[in-house]
Protein backbone atom coordinates (compact mmCIF):
# COMPACT_ATOMS: atom_id res chain seq x y z
CA UNK A 1 0.00 0.00 0.00
CA UNK A 2 1.54 3.29 -1.09
CA UNK A 3 1.94 6.19 1.30
CA UNK A 4 1.02 9.76 0.40
CA UNK A 5 3.86 11.87 -0.93
CA UNK A 6 4.87 15.17 0.68
CA UNK A 7 3.66 17.04 -2.40
CA UNK A 8 0.19 15.57 -2.11
CA UNK A 9 -0.09 15.96 1.67
CA UNK A 10 -1.70 19.39 1.57
CA UNK A 11 -4.41 18.39 -0.90
CA UNK A 12 -4.98 15.03 0.75
CA UNK A 13 -5.29 16.52 4.22
CA UNK A 14 -7.45 19.39 2.93
CA UNK A 15 -9.94 16.94 1.44
CA UNK A 16 -9.87 14.23 4.11
CA UNK A 17 -9.50 16.48 7.15
CA UNK A 18 -10.93 19.90 8.00
CA UNK A 19 -7.67 21.67 7.12
CA UNK A 20 -3.95 20.99 6.88
CA UNK A 21 -3.40 22.15 10.47
CA UNK A 22 -5.96 19.65 11.70
CA UNK A 23 -4.41 16.96 9.51
CA UNK A 24 -1.08 17.39 11.29
CA UNK A 25 -2.90 16.52 14.53
CA UNK A 26 -4.91 13.55 13.28
CA UNK A 27 -3.28 11.96 10.24
CA UNK A 28 -1.06 9.65 12.30
CA UNK A 29 -2.83 7.52 14.92
CA UNK A 30 -1.06 7.57 18.26
CA UNK A 31 -1.11 9.10 21.74
CA UNK A 32 -0.99 12.68 20.40
CA UNK A 33 -3.97 12.28 18.04
CA UNK A 34 -5.95 10.33 20.66
CA UNK A 35 -5.29 13.10 23.19
CA UNK A 36 -6.50 15.72 20.70
CA UNK A 37 -9.71 13.78 20.02
CA UNK A 38 -10.34 13.30 23.72
CA UNK A 39 -9.77 17.02 24.37
CA UNK A 40 -12.10 17.92 21.52
CA UNK A 41 -14.86 15.64 22.86
CA UNK A 42 -14.40 17.06 26.35
CA UNK A 43 -14.50 20.67 25.12
CA UNK A 44 -17.60 20.00 23.02
CA UNK A 45 -19.49 18.22 25.81
CA UNK A 46 -18.60 20.93 28.32
CA UNK A 47 -20.72 23.42 26.38
CA UNK A 48 -23.87 21.51 27.25
CA UNK A 49 -27.18 22.07 25.52
CA UNK A 50 -28.15 25.20 23.60
CA UNK A 51 -29.77 27.92 25.69
CA UNK A 52 -33.35 28.17 24.43
CA UNK A 53 -34.51 30.92 26.78
CA UNK A 54 -36.01 34.03 25.25
CA UNK A 55 -34.33 36.43 27.64
CA UNK A 56 -30.76 36.41 26.35
CA UNK A 57 -29.04 39.77 26.54
CA UNK A 58 -27.15 41.19 23.58
CA UNK A 59 -23.83 40.30 25.25
CA UNK A 60 -24.78 36.61 25.30
CA UNK A 61 -25.48 36.68 21.59
CA UNK A 62 -21.78 37.07 20.84
CA UNK A 63 -19.99 33.73 20.49
CA UNK A 64 -17.12 32.59 22.67
CA UNK A 65 -14.29 30.34 21.56
CA UNK A 66 -13.24 27.66 24.06
CA UNK A 67 -9.66 26.49 23.61
CA UNK A 68 -9.58 22.73 23.02
CA UNK A 69 -6.17 22.35 24.66
CA UNK A 70 -6.65 24.29 27.91
CA UNK A 71 -10.43 25.05 27.92
CA UNK A 72 -9.86 28.81 28.32
CA UNK A 73 -12.80 30.79 26.86
CA UNK A 74 -11.82 33.59 24.47
CA UNK A 75 -13.82 36.33 22.82
CA UNK A 76 -13.33 37.02 19.15
CA UNK A 77 -10.54 39.56 19.59
CA UNK A 78 -8.70 37.57 22.30
CA UNK A 79 -8.34 34.36 20.34
CA UNK A 80 -5.29 35.42 18.31
CA UNK A 81 -3.49 36.65 21.44
CA UNK A 82 -4.15 33.36 23.21
CA UNK A 83 -2.75 31.38 20.27
CA UNK A 84 0.36 33.53 20.06
CA UNK A 85 0.93 33.12 23.81
CA UNK A 86 0.27 29.38 24.15
CA UNK A 87 0.56 27.89 20.66
CA UNK A 88 -2.98 26.48 21.01
CA UNK A 89 -4.80 27.04 17.72
CA UNK A 90 -8.05 25.04 17.85
CA UNK A 91 -11.27 26.28 19.47
CA UNK A 92 -14.90 25.23 19.87
CA UNK A 93 -17.31 28.04 18.95
CA UNK A 94 -19.99 28.30 21.65
CA UNK A 95 -23.05 28.97 19.49
CA UNK A 96 -22.92 26.30 16.79
CA UNK A 97 -20.35 23.97 18.37
CA UNK A 98 -18.17 24.41 15.29
CA UNK A 99 -14.42 23.94 15.12
CA UNK A 100 -12.33 27.08 14.58
CA UNK A 101 -8.71 26.93 13.38
CA UNK A 102 -6.67 30.01 14.22
CA UNK A 103 -4.08 28.92 11.67
CA UNK A 104 -6.72 29.24 8.94
CA UNK A 105 -8.55 32.07 10.76
CA UNK A 106 -11.75 30.30 9.79
CA UNK A 107 -14.31 27.69 10.81
CA UNK A 108 -13.34 24.24 9.52
CA UNK A 109 -15.40 21.10 9.05
CA UNK A 110 -13.98 17.64 9.69
CA UNK A 111 -16.12 14.61 8.88
CA UNK A 112 -14.39 12.30 11.33
CA UNK A 113 -14.73 14.65 14.30
CA UNK A 114 -18.34 15.47 13.45
CA UNK A 115 -19.31 11.80 13.77
CA UNK A 116 -18.87 11.67 17.52
CA UNK A 117 -21.28 14.58 18.14
CA UNK A 118 -24.25 12.25 17.71
CA UNK A 119 -22.43 9.20 19.05
CA UNK A 120 -22.61 7.84 22.59
CA UNK A 121 -19.67 8.54 24.94
CA UNK A 122 -18.65 4.87 24.69
CA UNK A 123 -18.15 4.82 20.95
CA UNK A 124 -17.53 8.52 20.17
CA UNK A 125 -13.74 8.24 20.19
CA UNK A 126 -13.83 5.19 17.93
CA UNK A 127 -16.17 7.00 15.54
CA UNK A 128 -13.90 10.04 15.47
CA UNK A 129 -10.94 7.88 14.47
CA UNK A 130 -12.63 6.60 11.30
CA UNK A 131 -11.39 8.34 8.16
CA UNK A 132 -13.01 8.37 4.76
CA UNK A 133 -9.93 7.72 2.64
CA UNK A 134 -7.26 5.05 2.66
CA UNK A 135 -3.63 5.66 1.74
CA UNK A 136 -3.91 3.77 -1.54
CA UNK A 137 -2.38 5.31 -4.62
CA UNK A 138 -5.85 5.28 -6.27
CA UNK A 139 -7.37 7.32 -3.49
CA UNK A 140 -4.41 9.68 -3.48
CA UNK A 141 -4.68 10.24 -7.23
CA UNK A 142 -8.41 10.88 -6.96
CA UNK A 143 -7.94 13.44 -4.19
CA UNK A 144 -5.13 15.23 -6.04
CA UNK A 145 -7.26 15.42 -9.19
CA UNK A 146 -10.46 16.64 -7.56
CA UNK A 147 -9.59 18.55 -4.39
CA UNK A 148 -8.91 22.25 -4.32
CA UNK A 149 -7.89 24.45 -1.44
CA UNK A 150 -10.92 26.33 -0.13
CA UNK A 151 -10.51 30.09 0.03
CA UNK A 152 -11.28 31.32 3.51
CA UNK A 153 -14.27 33.43 4.43
CA UNK A 154 -12.23 36.62 4.89
CA UNK A 155 -12.39 37.57 1.23
CA UNK A 156 -15.05 40.25 1.53
CA UNK A 157 -17.90 38.10 2.84
CA UNK A 158 -19.35 37.78 6.33
CA UNK A 159 -21.93 35.52 7.87
CA UNK A 160 -24.78 36.48 10.19
CA UNK A 161 -25.22 34.86 13.58
CA UNK A 162 -28.53 33.11 14.15
CA UNK A 163 -30.12 34.87 17.13
CA UNK A 164 -32.71 32.15 17.75
CA UNK A 165 -34.61 30.92 14.66
CA UNK A 166 -33.69 34.09 12.76
CA UNK A 167 -32.45 32.37 9.60
CA UNK A 168 -35.44 33.89 7.75
CA UNK A 169 -34.05 37.36 8.50
CA UNK A 170 -30.46 36.37 7.73
CA UNK A 171 -31.17 35.16 4.19
CA UNK A 172 -33.13 38.28 3.22
CA UNK A 173 -30.54 40.60 4.75
CA UNK A 174 -27.68 38.73 3.00
CA UNK A 175 -29.54 39.10 -0.28
CA UNK A 176 -29.75 42.85 0.24
CA UNK A 177 -26.16 43.14 1.47
CA UNK A 178 -24.95 41.61 -1.80
CA UNK A 179 -27.12 43.71 -4.07
CA UNK A 180 -25.07 46.39 -5.92
CA UNK A 181 -28.03 48.77 -6.19
CA UNK A 182 -28.66 48.71 -2.44
CA UNK A 183 -24.93 48.96 -1.68
CA UNK A 184 -24.79 52.17 -3.70
CA UNK A 185 -27.72 53.58 -1.75
CA UNK A 186 -26.86 52.57 1.82
CA UNK A 187 -23.09 53.10 1.57
CA UNK A 188 -23.65 56.40 -0.21
CA UNK A 189 -25.61 58.02 2.63
CA UNK A 190 -28.96 57.25 1.05
CA UNK A 191 -30.51 56.96 4.51
CA UNK A 192 -28.85 59.04 7.20
CA UNK A 193 -29.52 57.76 10.73
CA UNK A 194 -28.13 60.90 12.37
CA UNK A 195 -30.89 62.93 10.69
CA UNK A 196 -33.65 60.35 11.25
CA UNK A 197 -36.11 61.04 14.05
CA UNK A 198 -38.26 57.92 13.66
CA UNK A 199 -38.16 55.45 16.55
CA UNK A 200 -37.10 51.88 15.75
CA UNK A 201 -36.53 52.87 12.14
CA UNK A 202 -35.98 49.90 9.84
CA UNK A 203 -34.02 52.11 7.43
CA UNK A 204 -31.58 53.03 10.20
CA UNK A 205 -31.19 49.36 11.24
CA UNK A 206 -30.48 48.25 7.66
CA UNK A 207 -28.02 51.12 7.19
CA UNK A 208 -26.19 49.94 10.30
CA UNK A 209 -26.10 46.38 8.94
CA UNK A 210 -24.54 47.58 5.66
CA UNK A 211 -21.91 49.55 7.57
CA UNK A 212 -21.14 46.61 9.86
CA UNK A 213 -21.00 44.12 6.99
CA UNK A 214 -18.54 46.27 5.04
CA UNK A 215 -16.27 47.04 8.00
CA UNK A 216 -12.75 45.93 7.04
CA UNK A 217 -11.83 45.72 10.72
CA UNK A 218 -14.34 42.93 11.38
CA UNK A 219 -13.80 40.03 8.99
CA UNK A 220 -15.97 37.54 10.88
CA UNK A 221 -19.69 37.09 11.37
CA UNK A 222 -21.90 39.63 13.09
CA UNK A 223 -25.38 39.84 14.58
CA UNK A 224 -28.07 42.07 13.07
CA UNK A 225 -29.56 42.58 16.53
CA UNK A 226 -30.94 46.10 15.98
CA UNK A 227 -32.73 45.04 12.79
CA UNK A 228 -34.27 42.08 14.61
CA UNK A 229 -35.46 44.23 17.51
CA UNK A 230 -36.80 46.94 15.18
CA UNK A 231 -38.66 44.26 13.20
CA UNK A 232 -40.19 42.86 16.38
CA UNK A 233 -41.38 46.28 17.50
CA UNK A 234 -42.79 47.09 14.06
CA UNK A 235 -44.70 43.81 13.74
CA UNK A 236 -46.13 41.84 16.69
CA UNK A 237 -46.39 38.72 14.48
CA UNK A 238 -42.61 38.72 14.08
CA UNK A 239 -41.83 39.16 17.78
CA UNK A 240 -40.34 36.13 19.49
CA UNK A 241 -38.17 33.22 18.46
CA UNK A 242 -40.67 31.24 16.41
CA UNK A 243 -39.94 30.36 12.78
CA UNK A 244 -41.07 32.94 10.19
CA UNK A 245 -41.52 32.83 6.43
CA UNK A 246 -38.64 34.46 4.53
CA UNK A 247 -40.95 35.60 1.72
CA UNK A 248 -43.27 37.37 4.15
CA UNK A 249 -40.30 38.97 5.88
CA UNK A 250 -39.03 40.26 2.52
CA UNK A 251 -42.41 41.89 1.87
CA UNK A 252 -42.40 43.38 5.37
CA UNK A 253 -38.85 44.72 5.02
CA UNK A 254 -39.49 46.31 1.63
CA UNK A 255 -42.62 48.00 2.94
CA UNK A 256 -40.79 49.38 5.98
CA UNK A 257 -37.85 50.58 3.89
CA UNK A 258 -40.30 52.36 1.61
CA UNK A 259 -41.87 54.01 4.65
CA UNK A 260 -38.42 55.14 5.87
CA UNK A 261 -37.61 56.95 2.61
CA UNK A 262 -37.77 60.72 2.64
CA UNK A 263 -40.59 62.05 0.46
CA UNK A 264 -42.28 58.67 -0.02
CA UNK A 265 -46.00 58.48 -0.77
CA UNK A 266 -48.20 56.14 1.24
CA UNK A 267 -50.47 55.52 -1.74
CA UNK A 268 -48.73 53.57 -4.51
CA UNK A 269 -51.38 54.64 -7.00
CA UNK A 270 -50.11 58.26 -6.88
CA UNK A 271 -46.79 57.38 -8.50
CA UNK A 272 -44.26 57.46 -5.67
CA UNK A 273 -40.77 58.29 -6.94
CA UNK A 274 -38.75 57.41 -3.83
CA UNK A 275 -35.69 55.16 -4.19
CA UNK A 276 -37.27 52.05 -2.70
CA UNK A 277 -40.45 52.33 -4.74
CA UNK A 278 -38.45 52.58 -7.97
CA UNK A 279 -36.16 49.75 -6.88
CA UNK A 280 -38.58 47.14 -5.49
CA UNK A 281 -42.06 47.90 -6.80
CA UNK A 282 -43.49 46.83 -10.12
CA UNK A 283 -47.02 46.86 -11.47
CA UNK A 284 -49.25 43.95 -12.48
CA UNK A 285 -52.16 44.31 -14.91
CA UNK A 286 -55.20 42.04 -14.73
CA UNK A 287 -57.41 41.91 -17.84
CA UNK A 288 -60.80 40.19 -17.77
CA UNK A 289 -62.53 39.68 -21.13
CA UNK A 290 -66.21 38.74 -21.30
CA UNK A 291 -66.67 35.63 -23.45
CA UNK A 292 -70.09 36.85 -24.59
CA UNK A 293 -69.63 40.52 -25.56
CA UNK A 294 -65.85 40.94 -25.58
CA UNK A 295 -65.87 43.72 -22.98
CA UNK A 296 -62.45 44.10 -21.32
CA UNK A 297 -61.99 45.20 -17.70
CA UNK A 298 -58.47 46.18 -16.67
CA UNK A 299 -57.05 46.73 -13.20
CA UNK A 300 -53.48 47.48 -12.14
CA UNK A 301 -51.90 46.72 -8.77
CA UNK A 302 -48.42 47.32 -7.29
CA UNK A 303 -46.27 44.25 -6.65
CA UNK A 304 -42.97 43.60 -4.87
CA UNK A 305 -42.66 40.02 -6.13
CA UNK A 306 -44.21 37.38 -8.34
CA UNK A 307 -45.67 34.29 -6.63
CA UNK A 308 -45.50 31.39 -9.06
CA UNK A 309 -47.33 28.07 -8.77
CA UNK A 310 -44.67 25.36 -9.14
CA UNK A 311 -47.26 22.62 -9.72
CA UNK A 312 -49.13 24.16 -12.65
CA UNK A 313 -46.99 22.43 -15.27
CA UNK A 314 -47.25 19.05 -13.54
CA UNK A 315 -51.04 19.41 -13.30
CA UNK A 316 -51.32 20.29 -17.00
CA UNK A 317 -49.16 17.31 -17.99
CA UNK A 318 -51.37 15.03 -15.90
CA UNK A 319 -54.42 16.36 -17.78
CA UNK A 320 -52.77 15.85 -21.16
CA UNK A 321 -51.72 19.44 -21.64
CA UNK A 322 -48.73 20.44 -23.76
CA UNK A 323 -46.11 21.93 -21.45
CA UNK A 324 -43.04 20.35 -23.02
CA UNK A 325 -41.27 17.03 -22.60
CA UNK A 326 -39.17 17.91 -19.55
CA UNK A 327 -40.18 16.23 -16.29
CA UNK A 328 -38.59 19.04 -14.29
CA UNK A 329 -40.65 22.26 -14.05
CA UNK A 330 -38.89 25.42 -15.20
CA UNK A 331 -39.03 29.04 -14.11
CA UNK A 332 -39.95 30.09 -17.63
CA UNK A 333 -42.75 27.52 -17.61
CA UNK A 334 -44.05 28.90 -14.32
CA UNK A 335 -44.02 32.42 -15.77
CA UNK A 336 -45.82 31.26 -18.89
CA UNK A 337 -48.51 29.62 -16.76
CA UNK A 338 -48.73 32.76 -14.61
CA UNK A 339 -49.34 34.99 -17.64
CA UNK A 340 -51.51 32.55 -19.67
CA UNK A 341 -55.25 33.18 -20.13
CA UNK A 342 -57.44 31.52 -17.50
CA UNK A 343 -61.12 30.65 -17.92
CA UNK A 344 -63.51 32.03 -15.30
CA UNK A 345 -66.80 30.28 -14.77
CA UNK A 346 -70.14 32.08 -14.68
CA UNK A 347 -70.84 33.59 -11.29
CA UNK A 348 -67.28 34.72 -10.74
CA UNK A 349 -67.42 37.74 -13.09
CA UNK A 350 -70.26 40.20 -13.61
CA UNK A 351 -69.89 41.93 -16.97
CA UNK A 352 -70.73 45.65 -17.14
CA UNK A 353 -71.18 45.35 -20.91
CA UNK A 354 -73.87 42.74 -20.36
CA UNK A 355 -75.83 44.81 -17.85
CA UNK A 356 -73.93 43.56 -14.83
CA UNK A 357 -75.04 39.96 -15.32
CA UNK A 358 -72.79 36.96 -14.47
CA UNK A 359 -70.90 35.75 -17.52
CA UNK A 360 -68.15 33.37 -18.39
CA UNK A 361 -64.93 35.26 -18.97
CA UNK A 362 -61.19 34.94 -19.59
CA UNK A 363 -58.67 36.43 -17.18
CA UNK A 364 -55.04 37.17 -17.95
CA UNK A 365 -52.22 38.60 -15.84
CA UNK A 366 -49.36 40.55 -17.40
CA UNK A 367 -46.55 42.65 -15.97
CA UNK A 368 -47.13 46.32 -16.67
CA UNK A 369 -43.95 47.59 -14.98
CA UNK A 370 -40.84 45.69 -13.87
CA UNK A 371 -38.78 46.67 -10.79
CA UNK A 372 -35.00 46.94 -10.76
CA UNK A 373 -34.81 44.12 -8.20
CA UNK A 374 -37.20 41.32 -9.17
CA UNK A 375 -38.13 38.75 -6.52
CA UNK A 376 -39.88 35.57 -7.62
CA UNK A 377 -41.39 33.19 -5.09
CA UNK A 378 -41.72 29.54 -6.08
CA UNK A 379 -44.77 28.66 -4.02
CA UNK A 380 -43.74 25.60 -2.01
CA UNK A 381 -46.21 25.95 0.86
CA UNK A 382 -49.78 24.88 0.11
CA UNK A 383 -52.67 25.44 2.50
CA UNK A 384 -56.10 23.83 2.06
CA UNK A 385 -59.04 23.35 4.38
CA UNK A 386 -57.79 19.91 5.37
CA UNK A 387 -54.01 20.07 5.25
CA UNK A 388 -50.96 22.29 4.96
CA UNK A 389 -47.93 20.85 3.20
CA UNK A 390 -44.68 21.73 1.52
CA UNK A 391 -44.06 21.04 -2.16
CA UNK A 392 -40.63 19.50 -2.65
CA UNK A 393 -38.66 19.25 -5.89
CA UNK A 394 -36.30 21.24 -8.02
CA UNK A 395 -37.38 23.97 -10.42
CA UNK A 396 -34.94 24.73 -13.23
CA UNK A 397 -34.04 28.42 -13.29
CA UNK A 398 -31.51 30.31 -15.43
CA UNK A 399 -28.66 32.66 -14.58
CA UNK A 400 -30.14 35.17 -17.03
CA UNK A 401 -33.78 35.67 -17.97
CA UNK A 402 -35.62 37.83 -20.50
CA UNK A 403 -38.83 39.13 -18.91
CA UNK A 404 -40.25 40.78 -22.06
CA UNK A 405 -42.52 37.80 -22.99
CA UNK A 406 -44.39 38.19 -19.69
CA UNK A 407 -45.12 41.91 -19.98
CA UNK A 408 -48.11 43.76 -21.44
CA UNK A 409 -46.16 44.12 -24.72
CA UNK A 410 -44.68 40.65 -25.26
CA UNK A 411 -44.35 40.93 -29.03
CA UNK A 412 -43.11 44.51 -29.29
CA UNK A 413 -39.91 45.42 -31.13
CA UNK A 414 -38.41 47.35 -28.22
CA UNK A 415 -34.81 46.96 -27.13
CA UNK A 416 -34.80 43.60 -25.36
CA UNK A 417 -31.80 44.58 -23.19
CA UNK A 418 -34.25 46.66 -21.16
CA UNK A 419 -35.81 43.42 -19.93
CA UNK A 420 -32.74 41.25 -19.26
CA UNK A 421 -32.24 40.21 -15.64
CA UNK A 422 -29.31 38.39 -13.98
CA UNK A 423 -29.62 36.08 -11.00
CA UNK A 424 -28.22 37.61 -7.80
CA UNK A 425 -29.49 35.34 -4.99
CA UNK A 426 -31.33 32.07 -4.41
CA UNK A 427 -32.97 31.33 -1.04
CA UNK A 428 -33.49 27.68 -0.07
CA UNK A 429 -35.78 26.23 2.60
CA UNK A 430 -34.92 22.80 3.99
CA UNK A 431 -37.07 20.80 6.33
CA UNK A 432 -40.73 20.60 7.16
CA UNK A 433 -43.40 23.25 6.83
CA UNK A 434 -43.22 24.41 10.45
CA UNK A 435 -39.71 23.30 11.40
CA UNK A 436 -37.24 24.13 8.66
CA UNK A 437 -34.12 26.16 8.02
CA UNK A 438 -33.23 28.83 5.46
CA UNK A 439 -29.91 29.46 3.74
CA UNK A 440 -29.01 31.55 0.71
CA UNK A 441 -26.66 31.56 -2.27
CA UNK A 442 -25.45 35.05 -3.21
CA UNK A 443 -23.32 36.35 -6.04
CA UNK A 444 -20.12 37.93 -4.72
CA UNK A 445 -18.47 39.68 -7.66
CA UNK A 446 -17.88 36.93 -10.21
CA UNK A 447 -18.17 34.17 -7.62
CA UNK A 448 -20.97 32.54 -5.65
CA UNK A 449 -21.10 32.05 -1.88
CA UNK A 450 -23.35 29.94 0.33
CA UNK A 451 -24.45 31.76 3.49
CA UNK A 452 -25.77 29.38 6.15
CA UNK A 453 -26.15 31.83 9.04
CA UNK A 454 -22.55 32.59 10.12
CA UNK A 455 -21.05 29.81 7.99
CA UNK A 456 -19.72 31.01 4.60
CA UNK A 457 -18.72 28.57 1.85
CA UNK A 458 -17.67 29.23 -1.78
CA UNK A 459 -19.72 27.30 -4.34
CA UNK A 460 -19.90 26.90 -8.12
CA UNK A 461 -22.55 28.15 -10.53
CA UNK A 462 -23.66 24.57 -11.20
CA UNK A 463 -24.26 24.05 -7.48
CA UNK A 464 -26.43 27.16 -7.34
CA UNK A 465 -28.46 26.13 -10.38
CA UNK A 466 -29.06 22.70 -8.86
CA UNK A 467 -30.72 23.81 -5.61
CA UNK A 468 -34.41 23.56 -4.68
CA UNK A 469 -34.95 27.31 -4.60
CA UNK A 470 -37.80 28.98 -2.71
CA UNK A 471 -37.03 32.63 -3.55
CA UNK A 472 -35.10 33.88 -6.58
CA UNK A 473 -33.76 37.43 -6.85
CA UNK A 474 -32.85 38.88 -10.24
CA UNK A 475 -31.30 42.27 -11.00
CA UNK A 476 -31.99 44.35 -14.07
CA UNK A 477 -28.76 44.19 -16.07
CA UNK A 478 -28.78 47.75 -17.41
CA UNK A 479 -30.47 50.33 -15.20
CA UNK A 480 -29.96 53.15 -17.70
CA UNK A 481 -32.22 51.29 -20.14
CA UNK A 482 -34.86 50.39 -17.58
CA UNK A 483 -38.31 49.91 -19.07
CA UNK A 484 -40.88 52.53 -18.01
* Residue 158 pLDDT greater than 50, yes or no: yes
Residue 348 maps to a domain: no
pLDDT tens column, 333-348: 999 999 999 898 777 8
Q: What pLDDT is stored for residue 58 in this prediction?
A: 43
* Residue 318 pLDDT greater than 80, yes or no: no
Q: What pLDDT is stored for residue 45 in this prediction?
A: 81
Task: Check whether residue 10 and residue 129 sit in a common domain.
Answer: yes
Region 210-220 average pLDDT: 76
288 alpha-carbon distance from chain centroid:
37
Query: Could you list the residue range(s) of the whole structural domain that residue 246 is in?
Result: 167-260
Q: What pLDDT is stored for residue 52 in this prediction?
A: 40
Which residues fall within 8 angstroms of residue 317, CB to CB, at 6 or more apart?
323
Using a cut of 0.75, tell me whether the model's pTM lies above it. no
Query: Among the listed ranges 375-384, 405-414, 440-449, which one has the minimum average pLDDT value?
Result: 375-384
CATH code for the domain of 87: 3.30.40
Beta strands 373-379 and 99-101, pairing class: unpaired
* Residue 140 pLDDT greater than 70, yes or no: no
Task: Check whether residue 105 and residue 178 sit in a common domain.
Answer: no
pLDDT tens column, 6-24: 333 444 444 456 677 888 8
Locate all alpha helices (DSSP H) within 214-339, ordered by sequence: 225-234, 246-260, 275-280, 312-318, 331-338
Task: Check whether residue 184 and residue 237 sit in a common domain.
Answer: yes
* Cα gap 384→241, rounded to integer Å: 26
Task: Check whether residue 141 and residue 234 sit in a common domain.
Answer: no
Which residues fall within 8 angstroms of residue 84, CB to CB, at 6 or more apart?
none
Task: Check whether residue 239 and residue 134 sit in a common domain.
Answer: no
Q: What pLDDT is stored for residue 390 in this prediction?
A: 64
Residue 126 maps to a domain: yes
Q: Pick from 207, 225, 260: which residue ends a domain?
A: 260
Residue 200 maps to a domain: yes
Q: What pLDDT is stored for residue 62 in this prediction?
A: 65
Task: Check whether residue 34 and residue 102 sit in a common domain.
Answer: yes
Residue 294 maps to a domain: no
* Residue 275 pLDDT greater than 60, yes or no: yes
Residue 132 maps to a domain: yes
Number of domains in the chain: 2
* Helical (H) or strand (E) element with 406: none
CA 389, 437, 150, 30 torsion-angle sign: negative
Task: Check whether residue 25 and residue 113 sit in a common domain.
Answer: yes
pLDDT tens column, 97-135: 788 888 887 877 776 777 666 554 444 445 444 444 444
Q: Pick from 204, 227, 260: which residue ends a domain?
A: 260
Task: Check whether residue 137 and residue 178 sit in a common domain.
Answer: no
Which residues fall within 8 angstroms of residue 289, CB to CB, at 6 or more apart?
295, 296, 297, 361, 362, 363, 364
Residue 38 maps to a domain: yes
Q: What pLDDT is stored for residue 202 in this prediction?
A: 93
Residue 327 maps to a domain: no
Which residues fall within 8 angstroms of residue 55, CB to CB, at 6 or more apart?
none
Task: Check whether residue 96 and residue 221 sit in a common domain.
Answer: no
Task: Check whether residue 171 and residue 232 sit in a common domain.
Answer: yes
Task: Check whether residue 14 and residue 79 sit in a common domain.
Answer: yes
Residue 74 maps to a domain: yes
Q: Pick from 240, 260, 280: which residue ends a domain?
A: 260
Higher pLDDT, 390 or 280: 280
Task: Check whether residue 218 and residue 115 sit in a common domain.
Answer: no
Q: What pLDDT is stored for residue 465 in this prediction?
A: 95
Amino acid sequence: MATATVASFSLLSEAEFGCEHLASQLIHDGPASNHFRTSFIKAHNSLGRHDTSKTASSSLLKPKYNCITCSEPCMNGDRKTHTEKTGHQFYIESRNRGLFCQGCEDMVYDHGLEQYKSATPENSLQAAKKRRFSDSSTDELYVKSNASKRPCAKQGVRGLFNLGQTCYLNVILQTMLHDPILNTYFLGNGHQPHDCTASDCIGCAVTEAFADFNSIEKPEGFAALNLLLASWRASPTLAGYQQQDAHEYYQFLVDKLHTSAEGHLESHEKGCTCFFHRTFYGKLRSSVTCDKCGNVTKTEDPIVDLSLDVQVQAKKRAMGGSTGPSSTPTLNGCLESFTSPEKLMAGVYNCSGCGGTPQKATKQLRIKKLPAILCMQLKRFEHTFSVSEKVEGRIDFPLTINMLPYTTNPNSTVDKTRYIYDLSSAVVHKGKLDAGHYYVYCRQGEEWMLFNDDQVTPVTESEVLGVDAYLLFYNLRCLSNAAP
